[in-house]
Structure 1
Amino acid sequence: MQYISTRGQVPPVDFSTAVAHGLAPDGGLYLPETLPDLKPKLADWADLSYPQLCDAFFSLFATDLDRAELSAMIERSYQNFDHAEIAPVRKLSDSLYVLELFHGPTLAFKDFALQLLGNFYEAQIARTGKPISVLGATSGDTGAAAIHGLLGKKGVRTFILYPDGRISPLQERQMTCTGADNVFPLAIKGSFDDAQAAMKTVFEDREFADEIGLSAVNSINLARILAQCVYYLYSFYRLPAALREQTTFVVPTGNFGNVLAGWLLQRMGVPIKGFRVATNQNDILHRLFQTGTYALGDVAPSVAPSMDIQVASNFERFIYYAEGCDPDKVRAIMQTFKSSGQYTFENFDPGTFSSSRTDDAGIASIISEVYRKYSYVVDPHTACGFTDLPEGPNLILATAHPAKFPDTIAEALSVDSTHPSLEALKAKEVVKHFVEPTPEAIKAFMREHKQA
């Protein structure tokens, strides 16, 4: 299996190279040269455990890795989840289900990919003998999951940009209270979009990337997306057989990576009915699917901070397929968006996508209503998924544990939502570094703190 850039200006690479680079050298995002057809495999995979299913799936993509080594990495990646099923499906009613993706080490869906990516990086360092510097940007959960996926990995230095004061205090503590001397949480003044834009510019400097051994943990890294495909397939099998092909997957999303994973799986032949993109008040994706125009707006801080995003970095992968896999069109569209802040698609067809928007008041109301109706506590991001549900069965992806957002939960409910791992952080020292959200400042910091 080879991997190509959405912008089409670099040669295809193997899986390990795509993972190591993260961002393609031409500024595009990697995708498989061809997507496999999973239809002939669906019956055989139905009864596999989560690690077994992940192993079977990745064997189609990581074809340059030793098969036994790949299986061992996957097995290790899911040992620190606190539920036997890894990604359990919770039934709320005969037509409403929740996929719980918060049973990993940092209590967020990002753990599914980043525990695995950490093991991929460890194997890469063992093969090449070269240390790496991992750079990421987070609106809340990615940073903590990346850090914890890389803790204890020899030869790794981890640098995570995040908007100071715009993530929850416990999300920040998960990044800044590790006590590890090779972890650098970098607080910036500004929004997640500012951090992400600076990060992508750093990756485009290939001379610096080679100098520092730069690698990516954001969902620009294709391994993140492929790892997230697995829980869609796993949950598809755990729905009642009669409902599987009738069920809409409802996905709280800001950066488009989570829902893109499910959509790619659908393109591989898995008969998922459709996807509901659930946004908070930062609704660039909702506006796109309603109007066909992808247009920047101001980022408004919300009680669902991981979705406080306007520029969805994974949207470029969607554009590639929506425009007939034409890299020339992708480059033109991305240039138009970069220069004008918007792009209107001709004859836009949302396909199996629909969308919804929920503001802060709506989130609080939903948290209260879901608890009253189902005795179930949802975090503020998952709450967005309950807005204007489509007809028929729905499966809502629960993206984070409610204990990560205690203030929001306490305002909506008279319920104490805590988790032991989060409570333990409150007594630890916060260590963070302040940098300007510019490529020059970030590169200077990384050079100063790179691996000896």
Structure 2
Amino acid sequence: MKFVSTRGQTKPHLFSEAVKIGLAPDKGLFVPESMPDLSQEIPTWEGLSYPELCYEFFKHFATDIPADELKSLVEKAYSRFDHKEHAPLVKLSDKLYVQELFHGPTLAFKDFALQLLGCLYERQVAMSGESINVLGATSGDTGAAAISGLLGKKGVNIFILYPDGRVSPLQERQMTCLEEENVFPLCIKGSFDDAQAALKDVFGDKEFSQEVHLSAVNSINLARILAQCVYYIYAYLKLPADRRERATFVVPTGNFGNVLAGWMASRMGMIVDGFRVATNQNDILHRFFDAGDYSLGEVLPSHAPSMDIQVASNFERFLYFSLGGNAEMTREIMESFKKDGSFQVGGMAITEFMTSTRMDDEEIAKTISEVYREYGYTADPHTACGFKDLDKLETAVVLSTAHPAKFPDVVANCTGVEPTHPSLEALKSKEIRKFSVDPDEASIKAFIRSKQ
């Protein structure tokens, strides 16, 4: 299989090439040239372990990696999870389930993609003999998960941009309390959107990217989205058979990558009732799916900091697919959005199959308390955003995106019990090591060059 750019001005690439490059040279995002039809295969995957299911899924995409090698990469990627099911499905009622995606090394759903991406990068370095510099931006969990996935990987330096003071204290410690000399947490003044915009500008300089062998770790990287498709199929097969096609996946998301992965799985043959985008008060995605308005707003700090985003980078992939693979129209819309900060859906029917909700901080706190009282279940602030208007759904699967111990103050205030985790407790006595840079292309390039 080959992968093309959403903007249509880049030649098709094989899987490993697309993963290596990250952002397409025309500044678009890589997508499969065509979606495989897995409708006949998915039922046969019931009962497989998580790594086995991941392998069966990825062999349709990573066609340039020998089967035995791919299987070994997958097994290594998921060897550090602390639950035998990796992504267990917890039943709260006959109509409500929670899929826990926080059993990886950094206690967040990003581990599912970034543990695998780290192994793919390690393979790339071994095959090419060239070191690489991995650049990413984070609103909280991506940075720690990316660093964890790349720790101990030879020939890899990792640079993570994050908004200073706008991630939780423990999220910051997961990125900065490390002694490895190849890890560079870069704090910036501003929001995640400022970091993401600067990152895209850096990748847009083809000469610089080639000079320092730059690769992307954000969800702009194709492997990230494909890896996240797997846990949807895993949850789908764990549901009672008579509820699968009636299920709605409810997905807390800011950057749109998480829910996009589920939507892509449905396009490949996982038949469900639909998807719901659950946002916090930074609600550009809710405004789009509710009213067709995709326009920038001010980024407001919230109880759910990983969703404090107003430019959802993976929205471009959704737009491309919804427009029938029309790269020219996608390019025009995205270029117009960059210039004007908005676009309207108009006559395009691209919001079908997805609904959305919004929660402000007051609602998040209230929901954490209610879920704890009613079900005895502790939800982190991001997961809490998914527990809104669920009575309207026949069967709901809420994706739990992070361990509540990453946000102890908010959760303790709402439940009366402070959540803890041994890996986080160990960080509290360690020294923070971070670097300040301006959120602009020149400053970031200069820092990366200084570490070569």
User: What's the TM-score, normalizing by structure 2?
Assistant: 0.99
Shift of residue 312 of structure 1? Answer: 0.2
Q: How does 1:3-402 map to 2 (within 5 A)?
A: 3-349=3-349, 350-389=351-390, 390-402=392-404
Q: Deviations over 1:92-136 (max 9, x none)?
A: 001000000000000000000000000000000000001000000
Secondary structure at the counterpart of residue 47 of structure 2: coil
Q: Which residue of 423, 426, 433 maps to 2:425? A: 423
8 Å CA contact 2:43, 2:237 repeated in 1: no
Alignment-mate amino acid for residue 289 of structure 2: F
Number of equivalent positions: 450
Indicate the percent of aligned positions where both proteins have the same amino acid: 63
Alignment-mate amino acid for residue 388 of structure 1: D
8 Å CA contact 1:278, 1:356 repeated in 2: yes
Secondary structure at the counterpart of residue 93 of structure 1: coil
8 Å CA contact 1:292, 1:348 repeated in 2: no
Q: For the residues of structure 2 that align with 1:146 and 1:10, how far apart are their CA atoms?
A: 27
Shift of residue 348 of structure 1? Answer: 3.9
Q: For the residues of structure 2 that align with 1:240 and 1:117, how far apart are their CA atoms?
A: 32
8 Å CA contact 1:95, 1:394 repeated in 2: yes
Q: For the residues of structure 1 that align with 2:328 and 2:207, how far apart are their CA atoms?
A: 25
8 Å CA contact 2:42, 2:269 repeated in 1: no
8 Å CA contact 2:108, 2:403 repeated in 1: yes
Over the aligned positions, Cα root-mean-square deviation in angstroms equals: 0.6
Q: Deviations over 1:195-216 (max 9, x none)?
A: 0000011001010000111001
Secondary structure at the counterpart of residue 243 of structure 1: helix
Structure 1 alignment gaps of length 5 or more: none
User: What's the TM-score, normalizing by structure 1?
Assistant: 0.99
Q: Deviations over 1:413-448 (max 9, x none)?
A: 111200000000001110000000000000000000
Alignment-mate amino acid for residue 397 of structure 1: L
8 Å CA contact 1:7, 1:28 repeated in 2: yes
Q: For the residues of structure 1 that align with 2:268 and 2:204, how far apart are their CA atoms?
A: 30
Secondary structure at the counterpart of residue 41 of structure 2: helix
Q: Deviations over 1:36-89 (max 9, x none)?
A: 000110222112110000000000000001111110000011111000000000
Alignment-mate amino acid for residue 419 of structure 2: S
Q: For the residues of structure 1 that align with 2:164 and 2:435, how far apart are their CA atoms?
A: 10
1:404 aligned residue: 406
Q: For the residues of structure 1 that align with 2:241 and 2:305, how far apart are their CA atoms?
A: 36
Q: Deviations over 1:174-224 (max 9, x none)?
A: 000111110000000000000000001100101000011100110000100
Alignment-mate amino acid for residue 193 of structure 1: D
Shift of residue 157 of structure 1? Answer: 0.2
Alignment-mate amino acid for residue 213 of structure 1: H
Shift of residue 18 of structure 1? Answer: 0.2
Shift of residue 391 of structure 1? Answer: 2.2
Alignment-mate amino acid for residue 288 of structure 1: F
Alignment-mate amino acid for residue 33 of structure 1: E
Structure 2 alignment gaps of length 5 or more: none
Q: For the residues of structure 2 that align with 1:285 and 1:192, how far apart are their CA atoms?
A: 16
Q: For the residues of structure 2 that align with 1:384 and 1:348, how far apart are their CA atoms?
A: 28
Secondary structure at the counterpart of residue 40 of structure 2: helix
8 Å CA contact 2:299, 2:309 repeated in 1: yes
Secondary structure at the counterpart of residue 94 of structure 1: coil
8 Å CA contact 2:138, 2:192 repeated in 1: yes
Q: For the residues of structure 2 that align with 1:43 and 1:307, how far apart are their CA atoms?
A: 33
Secondary structure at the counterpart of residue 36 of structure 2: coil
Q: Deviations over 1:275-311 (max 9, x none)?
A: 0000000000000001112100000000100000000
